[in-house]
Structure 1
Amino acid sequence: MTFFQHLLIIIGLIAASAFFSCAEIALASARKIRLQQLVETGNARAQQVLNLQNQPGNFFTVIQVALNAIAIMGGILGEQAISPYIESALSHIFGQRAGLDQISFIISFVSVTSLFILFADLMPKRLAMTYPEQVAMWIVRPILVCLALLKPIVVMYDGIASALFKLLNIQTTREDAITFDDVSAIVDAGAASGALHRQEQHLIENVFELDTRTVTFAMTPRENIIYLRLQDDEDTLKAKITEFPHSRFLVCDDLIDQVIGYVESKDILKRTLNHQPISLHRELQVKNVLAIPDTLTLSELLERFKVTNQDLAFILNEYALVVGIVTLNDVMKTLMGDLVSPFIEEQIVKRDDCSWLVDGVTPIEDVRRALAIDQFPHEANYETIAGFMMYQLKRIPKRTDWVEFAGYKFEVVDIDNYRIDQLLVSKLSS
């Protein structure tokens, strides 16, 4: 054969090897979620790719048989095709000298190998890794044809491999369960690439945290609850509503732990404007209020609100004491942050590159995320950064108390009636 014919054979082998290399990476890397979305739009090729992925042994066998056969043929034909021509060219330049055959062999070997590495391996695989779904759908039908033609060989090799895996008790079925960590990694990658804004990233993460955060994260704590007493006279009721213009108030029988229900401010206002008497015993309608345990998650609370058609609840601990109240709006603020409440003061304020001011009631998950801390010690024992300080100090903290952890110094800077109001978190120098 002529040099041109040999060259065509090598180009054909490189093209075939490139195709199978591309197919190997694309079929293995194509994301099932993306393919399922394409199937729902009526894409038949996406369904064929999914079918192949469900039986990876079949297409891997075809690809490996083809790649190995092409590599052997390329090694045999490549040296024989190019080496004589290189030797002839070298003899014209340097004359007949000893060792020209070895030199021409090395040059032909390196040349053919380089062509296969570059055009049959590196470039196709990088292309398939960049566009796995598109490439997989492009090559799936030729692979199915090869699978049909080589079926006896595929059955034999795949059967032997499966038997060996079974003998060694090795699981070969890929688990495609998606965890929160998987979604979080995708969201972080989207934020890093600019596809997601910072607020959108936090929103998605907060949605998944609804199942792990309890209602105490979103509640108004006991000490901040303004409630009405059955024993209050008309002037006291008006004074409370004037000073604290809330839309609803809990109604209690003398003590906050004896909740009767709630009333709406608009009902009191309506009677006041009409110069009608106001009394929690008679005139005003005290409505039933939902009672929930403090162990309920925010996700479960949303379901409870939906079932009961209510959007206000008071929270009880295991001793039947009221620890706080929570509304549907509180859950939405926790979920969406400053997207719905842009004027709410942030719980974590960055002062500079090495220090932060943190509100004492800030959830420990938010602190961990803001400071890039993997885990706080014994997190099951507390829910807020104030709880972390109390757990570490083993006593009620006072101003200037501090704790060092994970390369940070947590210092109490403000106390309000035994409650940690604010901390200063400083990064320790290495």
Structure 2
Amino acid sequence: MDTVPLWVLVCALIFLISCSAFFAMAETALMAASRHRLRSYAKRGHRGAMTTLWLLERTDSLLSLILIANTLINALATALATAIAIMFFGYDYSAIFIAIALLAFVLIVFAEISPKFVGARYPENISLAAATVLKPLMALAMPLVWFVNQLVQLVLKLAAVRPQAAQHRVSPEELRSIVLEGGNFIPQKHKSILLNLFDLETISVDDIMTPRAQIEALNLAVPVAEIKAQLTTCYHNKLPVYEGEINQILGILHVRHAIALLNEEEDLTVQHFRDLLTTPYYIPQDTRVFTQLQYFQENKERLGIIVDEYGEVQGLVTLDDIIEEMIGEFTTSVPGAARSEVFDWDKRGECLLEGTTALRDINKRLGLHFPVDGPKTLNGLMLEQLQDIPESPVGLKIGDVIIEVIQVKNQAIKVAKLIRPSTRLFA
């Protein structure tokens, strides 16, 4: 050491500290880098991204290389600091101890904490640059890395620990978080559609169906003149057809075929309409919406009758209903359909709603949190809370919202008023 100039030792020490900082920064950046973003770069032909992904597929060897390099570099840095202290102060143990303590402080601040903060702040950029250095180093150090890994495996085996390969599968919850944290990278409309897609796995068809009481259906038990009148004013392309009672579904009628029949036949009978019916498609009411979308696709159907465990008709769902649940409501809507109703808080913080309005729609539009795991409509929720059909206007509070019954008709709450508590307090 006496023949080595001091400036060489100092430069070597600075170089070793810089190398230690590089490996610390590279380790943090590589572990924090988004594999999805790197794959996107790689598909566009980015060589650095390809190299980074190659390294990340060999995480065990990569981490072993970084740890071995960091350990050797820190050991050499300690030896150099000791040598420099001896050159200045001789074999003074106090001076040597102070030199090692100062080096430890420098390593912690400039070769550990600061580089790792930088690596965590710019993970992709640093990973792409570091990968071009780490890949050749891994090739050079492969024998040493292999030996160390084998020794580690032996130690773990003796300790009865079975290491498992890292799993990089993304759960639905993680995907949802990625979408929510997309910020300005994902347009708001696209973000809304993606989040709605996740919800399709958690909701069932009875959450989006047209309830039984609102189904427009054709009753063949009425005179033919009434049937003709209903067909000429019908909005839908397909109608469920029953006879006498809606649970007795006979089939599905294509309205355009029936309109053609009206123009061709003068002496129409019920049998003419029966001959046009197609087989109804039934859906259990607890079927998940995403599953039903697949069933519609596989069976080439667009409309299904929802039945409960007793075979009673509960409602109707169409392919359009599911698509609206994913991308939002269409600009055209069926007159009188509850799902297409537009509502919001007025200036007084009040909102008039029909009792048949779906709770999920209320929660979405008004920003409320009514429970949706029980009754599906506002009427159902209020009757569950009241345990009775009110005969006169009454009010109740559910969560933070005050609800007043405005109109009761046919054993159901027809119209109700929602009032935000803050507006009532200052009224």
Give the partner amino acid of 1:247. Answer: N
- 1:140 aligned residue: 131
Counterpart check, 1:154 vs 2:163: no
Distance 2:105 2:352 in 1: 59
SS in 1 for 2:239: strand
Give the partner amino acid of 1:246. Answer: H
Counterpart check, 1:12 vs 2:15: yes
Most deviating of 353-362 and 308-317? 353-362
Q: Deviations over 1:270-316 (max 9, x none)?
A: 45566844443226753313222212222222222223322122111
Return the offset for 1:243. Answer: 5.5
Q: Label 1:184 to 1:366 Cα distance change in 2 as closer, same or farther (>3 A).
A: farther
Most deviating of 380-389 and 331-340? 380-389
SS in 2 for 1:174: coil
Distance 1:182 1:353 in 2: 40
Return the offset for 1:249. Answer: 2.1
Distance 1:236 1:250 in 2: 16
Distance 1:211 1:295 in 2: 12
Q: Deviations over 1:214-244 (max 9, x none)?
A: 1112211100112212222232124334555
SS in 2 for 1:231: coil
Partners of 2:209 and 2:321 within 8 A in 1: yes
* Counterpart pick for 1:196 among 186, 198, 214: 186
Partners of 1:355 and 1:427 within 8 A in 2: no
Distance 1:69 1:184 in 2: 42
Distance 1:342 1:130 in 2: 48
SS in 2 for 1:258: strand
SS in 2 for 1:261: strand
RMSD: 4.3
* Number of corresponding residues: 405
**Equivalent residue runs for 1:294-313 within 5 Å:** 294-313=285-304
Counterpart check, 1:424 vs 2:415: no
- 2:167 aligned residue: 175
Which consecutive residues of structure 1, in runs of 5 or more, have no partner in the other structure?
88-100
Q: Label 1:324 to 1:136 Cα distance change in 2 as closer, same or farther (>3 A).
A: same
Counterpart check, 1:24 vs 2:16: no
**Equivalent residue runs for 1:47-62 within 5 Å:** 47-62=50-65
Return the offset for 1:334. Answer: 1.4
SS in 1 for 2:418: strand
Return the offset for 1:385. Answer: 6.4
Partners of 1:403 and 1:410 within 8 A in 2: yes
State the identity as a percent.
21
SS in 1 for 2:270: coil
Give the partner amino acid of 1:317. Answer: D
- 2:324 aligned residue: 333
- 1:228 aligned residue: 218
Distance 1:37 1:45 in 2: 12
- 2:243 aligned residue: 253
Partners of 1:83 and 1:105 within 8 A in 2: no
Return the offset for 1:169. Answer: 3.4
Which consecutive residues of structure 2, in runs of 5 or more, have no partner in the other structure?
335-339
Give the partner amino acid of 2:418. Answer: L
Counterpart check, 1:33 vs 2:36: yes
Partners of 1:251 and 1:286 within 8 A in 2: no
Q: Label 1:108 to 1:152 Cα distance change in 2 as closer, same or farther (>3 A).
A: closer
- 1:96 aligned residue: none
Distance 2:187 2:351 in 1: 23
- 2:75 aligned residue: 72
Q: Label 1:73 to 1:318 Cα distance change in 2 as closer, same or farther (>3 A).
A: same
TM-score (structure 1 length as normaliser)? 0.75
Distance 1:282 1:385 in 2: 41
Counterpart check, 1:217 vs 2:227: no
Return the offset for 1:257. Answer: 0.8
Counterpart check, 1:345 vs 2:341: yes
Q: Label 1:397 to 1:195 Cα distance change in 2 as closer, same or farther (>3 A).
A: farther
Give the partner amino acid of 2:13. Answer: I
Q: Label 1:358 to 1:69 Cα distance change in 2 as closer, same or farther (>3 A).
A: farther
Q: Label 1:195 to 1:396 Cα distance change in 2 as closer, same or farther (>3 A).
A: farther
Q: Label 1:385 to 1:245 Cα distance change in 2 as closer, same or farther (>3 A).
A: closer
Q: Label 1:383 to 1:272 Cα distance change in 2 as closer, same or farther (>3 A).
A: closer
- 2:337 aligned residue: none
Partners of 2:200 and 2:288 within 8 A in 1: yes
Counterpart check, 1:362 vs 2:377: no
Give the partner amino acid of 1:67. Answer: N
Distance 1:350 1:173 in 2: 53
Q: Label 1:260 to 1:57 Cα distance change in 2 as closer, same or farther (>3 A).
A: same
Return the offset for 1:319. Answer: 1.2
Q: Label 1:318 to 1:105 Cα distance change in 2 as closer, same or farther (>3 A).
A: closer
